[in-house]
Amino acid sequence: MNQKKTILVAAFGTTYATARQNAIDSVVTKIKQAFPEFETRLAFTAEMVIRRLWERDSIKVENPLEALEALKTEGVKHVVIQPLHIIPGLEWKKLLRAIRRYHDSFERVSLGRPLLYFAKTEKSPDDYEEAALALLPQLPQTGEGQAVILMAHGSWDPANGCYFCFEWTLRKLGADRVHLATVEGCPDLYQVIDQLDQKSVKKVTLMPFMLVAGEHVFRDMAGDDESSWKSVLERHGYGVQVWTHGLGEVEAFQNLFVKRVAEAVSGNYEDLMELEL
C-alpha cells in the first residue's frame, strides 16, 4: 500500500554482498524500525556499482533519479532523502542534482545531511564531535610506539577538508594517536607515514573510516598486493593489524543516521540547508 510518505536512503553502494548486508542494509533496517509510518527505499549513487550488480548478480538497484521518478509516478507526497555518505563531496553533489530536478514533483522534500556536515554553531549541532564520540569506543588501546590509521575515501572536492576537521576533533577528545589518510585525496598514506616516523611509531592498526568494508578495505587497505596500505607499511618496518568493518556495522553510527532522518522529518536545520536545494 502506498503510504504517500517515503524515506529514500541513498548510499554510494558496494558490490560486496556481505558488506551490503552488514552495513547498508543494517542502517536501512534501523531507519525502517524508527519510522514505521514511512515507506523506506534504497538507492545507490555509484553507477558502476549498480551496473556490476545487475550484470554479475541480476540485482537491480535504482539510482536516485530512477527512484525519485518512481515515487513521483506513484503519487508520493512527502519524500525524505537521507544520504549515507560520510562527507558532502562529489557523490553528495550528484544526489543534490537529482533532488533539484524533482524538487517540485512532491508536496514536501526533506533533505538529511551526510555524517560530517555541521560544525558547532549557535544554530547547529557538532556533527564532527558526534561522529568522533561514536568512533572512540571502536578504537583499539594504543600505547607508546603505537598508532591507528583511519582509511577514508577522500575526494578532490573541497569537502575533503571535512576529514581534517574530523581528525582535529579526535585530537581535541584525546585521540592523539589516531591519524586519518585518504585513498583519493589529502593527506595520503605516505604523508601520514612521515608523521609516524617523527613519533617513532612501530605498530599500526588500520581501520576503515567508510560506511562499508568493500573493495577499498579488502584490496587497497588489507590486501596482499604490494601497493596495499598493509604491504606499504610493512615494507616501512611497521607491525600491522587490520580491522575490516565499516561504520555502517556499528550501532552508534547506525543511530547517527537515524538521528539525521529524524531531524529531516521534523524540519530541524531546514533553514540552514535551504541553499543546498
Q: How high is the pLDDT of residue 164? A: 96
Mean pLDDT in the chain? 94
pLDDT value of residue 121: 87
Break the chain down into helix, strand, coil percent, rounded to 5: 50, 15, 35
Compute how many other C-beta atoms are within 10 angstroms of the C-beta atom of residue 266. 10
Active-site residue among 85, 153, 179, 216?
153
Residue 236 carries which DSSP code? Answer: T
Please give the order of strands across the beta sheet that includes 178-182.
178-182, 146-152, 203-208, 239-242
Question: CB of 164 within 8 A of CB of 181?
Answer: no
Q: Round to whole Å and give the CA distance between 41 and 227.
A: 37
Confidence category of residue 277, pLDDT binned at 50, 70, 90: low
- pLDDT computed for residue 1 by the predictor: 44
Cα distance between residue 57 and residue 164, in whole Å: 38
pLDDT on residue 57: 93
Please state the φ and ψ torsions of residue 237, each to the nearest 5 degrees.
95, 10
Q: What is the pLDDT of residues 170-205, one digit of tens each?
A: 999 999 999 999 999 999 999 999 999 999 999 999
The pLDDT-based confidence of 3 (bands split at 50, 70, 90) is low
Mean pLDDT of 21-41: 97
Q: What digits encode the pLDDT tens for the residues 85-129?
A: 999 999 999 999 999 999 999 999 999 999 999 998 888 999 999
Higher-pLDDT residue of 1, 58: 58
Let me know if 245 is a catalytic residue.
no
The pLDDT tens digits of the residues spanning 125-155 come to 999 999 999 999 999 999 999 999 999 999 9
